[in-house]
Structure 1
Amino acid sequence: MDRRTFIGTVGAGTVAGVAGCLTRDGDGNGDDGSDGDPEPENPDLEGELRVATYSSMVDGENPAGEWLKEVFEEEYPDAELTWTVPENGINQYIERERSDVDLDADVYLGANVDDLVLVDDRLEEGGLLRDLNVDRIDNAERIRDGLDMGDPHGRVLAYDTGYISLVYDETVVDEPETLADLTEPAYEDALLAQNAQSSDPGQAFLLWTIDAYGEDGYLDYWDNLAANGVRILKDWSESYSGAYMEEERPMVVSYSTDQVYANEYGYDMRRHQVAFPNDQGYANPEGMGIFEGASELDLAYEFLDFALSSEAQAVIAQRNVQFPAVEEEFVDLDDEFDQYAHVPPEAVTVGYDRLRGNLEGWVDDWAREFAGQ
């Protein structure tokens, strides 16, 4: 999974909604009337909490994970938070579960809807992560409406969200008004994209085109992109930090918060314009959940609640350069965010139900034709 880490000053803004809400009323068989794990009278808050995540959460300059570990351990002095970065993201835990091997982690931080679909396509329905008892997570009620991953098993809560968009150099190309514009001569050899097999923004952009053209039409659209010279690189770092920042091409699939980064480092803002073709951006909330076999269950619930606290939400948003998951009133961020972090007029996403049973086939069909472009 490729993510990016920037040290930026971001502030509160209104996040456009995607239908639904991650929090839900309990209606299962728990002792307190909610799904998931009943809350103990005397929770065990000692021991080592192992949290799996992606590399930019814990590596690089001033990552969010460094702060989360320090402050969590201050609040829970008998606990130790240990980060682990799986080489192959959620797939590593799917394979370990298939092999009946200890997962060696309690919490997964960084799941999106695509990950949940892969889990359910490859393992049993509703597997790997626990059905959460959100009544144990007080701060869950502060999550914005509109961060739904559509998981019918209630395994995740959002902790941040972002929007995939296009970033372009306005001194070279005009803003594309539609996705179809990208196949026109004005954008020949202009676009950098990422491999949908190995990149989150790459897969999100692919799904955006499936939403726009349908599963019967998206490969034809990509044929036209390929004929117009789209260049596909492995991940976001190669395409943005590498090729785009080296001015090899004037447009790249990226994030709608990129101007926050450009402003922070004093880059030429003309090369960091944000485009929402079709007046859309692809919504990509990130979620956190607890593994079914977690050995430190009580600490895991405390960590999920902690990650949704006002201070943690501000740090995650600033250092990941993404929108916070909680409502604006609960997080204090810099006013410059409204100027430099952009929300699309319409947030689109391909939901769980449509992805289930289809995602791997769509990506494989795309990869056979285009992964080597």
Structure 2
Amino acid sequence: MKRRTFLRAAGVGGVAGLAGCSGDGGGTGGTETTTGGTEPAETTGTTTGEAGGGESDLVVATYGAFVDAPSSSPGAWLKERFESETDATIRYETPESGVNHYIERAMRGADIEADLYVGLDVNMLIRLDEKLDGPLFTAADGLDRRGDVKESLEFDPQGRAVPYDTGYISLVYDETQGEDGDFVAPETFDGLLREEFSGDLLTQNPTSSATGQAFLLHTVKAKGEDGYLDYWNELKQNDVRVVGDWESSYAAYSNGEAPMVVSYSTDQVYAEESGEDLSKHQVRFLNDQGYANPEGMALFDGTDRSELARRFMDFVLRPEVQSEIAVRNVQFPATTTAELPEEFAQYAKEPPEAVTFSYDRLKGNLSEWTDAWARQFASK
């Protein structure tokens, strides 16, 4: 067989606008990530590049927005640059159901043509580990630039996913609102509970939205596992508005329905490029923190082009490539060696402190936390 086949099916198991991670449709695009089930495996998106299966072909699976806007998405630029330096040809696969497509194929013992997946996050890893008995990805050993990745962004204890960028969830607020057009968002989570901010916050449902889930997890970080539900009860009493997804919540914010929305700290990048009033796109890091949502890349287990795939991964971690991905994906680099262009860094806001939960902490807890939130908050 030219390509490997997963011989053992898994047991049945239990989960872009303005800049985002692999989330709800922020400018970097990604697909909506939730704690729900997988989508149909037969639903596929486009394949970019020459068809065929030559030894110099590298099949890179990713989400559609990574490649579907050639003037801004990083995919087309990466393909052209990497091919200019090698004799390889990159072909992109963008199934509409994202990594779920490959989980379903693995469960059925079907062939997987892709060599590399770009766009993994910690929730995806937890999902595939819960559903599959055998490995879908393998550890990316032997990368020359692996040590350049920021330790704080590492999210896979098994070393399969190599971070290549990250976004930060924050509040975005419109300082032109308020009685005197001088609205200022609170600086802390507790500040959101003050009566003066009643009805002022739009956020997303954490059971159906990546940004909403990140905000929920940040409240767990801030208030503890035993206190976050009480905090959300107080938010509800202060008339927080929970919307299904990022797009809907940001549209409501843009229409002036509330002066604050949970979004991304690179909001001003798009606002400046669009010539919008930056006073309507102010960024607030509650408790001086931003919840990090790093994206990673990983080798499919059993690929027969692992050497070429590792070469591509090292290429992605090069300083100048990291900077280009960050600008095009409207994210932040994952390495300590990259430098953002001054005009981009001026508008992309990085928090004083990045916070996140580790894989080990989330596995076994994420569904419990979101389900508890849904029982207490969404059902009332």
Report 1:215-364 matches (<5 A).
215-240=225-250, 242-327=251-336, 330-364=337-371
How far the C-alpha of 1:222 sits from its partner, in A, is 1.9
**Could you tell me which of 26, 30, 54 is aligned with 1:4?**
26
Q: In structure 2, how many angstroms separate the alpha carbons of the residues matched to 1:349 and 1:194? A: 18
Q: Secondary structure in 1 aligned to 2:153?
A: coil
Q: CA-atom RMSD, angstroms?
A: 2.5
Shift of 1:68: 1.2
Residues 1:166 and 2:171 are matched in the alignment:
yes
5 Å-filtered alignment, 1:1-373, equals 1-5=23-27, 46-60=55-69, 61-77=71-87, 79-124=88-133, 127-133=135-141, 135=142, 137-149=143-155, 151-172=156-177, 173-240=183-250, 242-327=251-336, 330-370=337-377
Displacement of 1:358 in angstroms is 1.3
Cα 1:203–1:267 shift into 2, 3 Å: same
Q: CA deviation at 1:370?
A: 4.3
Query: How far is the alpha carbon of 1:263 from its aligned partner?
Result: 1.9
Cα displacement (A) at 1:161: 1.5
Classify 1:121/1:274 alpha carbon distance in 2 versus 1 (closer, same or farther; 3 Å): same
Identity %, equivalent residues: 51
Q: Structure 1 length normalisation: TM-score? A: 0.80
Q: Taking CA–CA contacts closer than 8 Å with sequence separation of 6 or more, which of the two structures ends up with the larger relative contact order?
A: 1
**Structure 2: tracts of 5 or more residues without a match:** 1-22, 30-52, 178-182
Taking a change above 3 Å as real, the CA distance of residues 228 and 269 of structure 1, as seen in their structure-2 partners, is same
SS in 2 for 1:266: coil
AA at the equivalent of 2:208: S
Q: Report the TM-score when normalising by structure 2.
A: 0.79
Deviation of 1:355 (Å):
0.8
Give the superposition deviation at 1:363.
Answer: 2.1
3-state SS of paired residue (1:326) = coil
Q: CA deviation at 1:252?
A: 0.9
SS of the equivalent of 1:285 reads strand
Contact map agreement 2:140 2:160 (CA 8 A) in 1 = yes
**CA distance in 2: counterparts of 1:203 and 1:333, whole angstroms:** 28
Query: Within 1, Cα distance between the matches of 2:346 and 2:319?
Result: 22
Q: Distance in 1 between matches of 2:230 and 2:108?
A: 39
**How many angstroms apart in 1 are the aligned matches of 2:241 and 2:56?**
48
Moved more, 271-280 or 116-125: 116-125
User: SS of the counterpart of 2:103?
Assistant: helix
Q: Secondary structure at the match of 1:65?
A: helix
Cα contact 1:56–1:63 (8 A) shared by 2:
yes
In structure 2, relative to structure 1, the CA distance for the partners of 1:120 and 1:206 (3 Å cut) is: same
Aligned residues: 329
Secondary structure of the structure 2 residue equivalent to 1:336: helix
Runs of 4+ aligned residues of structure 1 deviating over 6 Å after TM superposition are none
What is the CA–CA distance in structure 2 between the aligned matches of 1:361 and 1:46, rounded to whole Å?
A: 45
Structure 1 counterpart of 2:12: none
Distance (Å, rounded) in 1 between the aligned partners of 2:133 and 2:335: 31
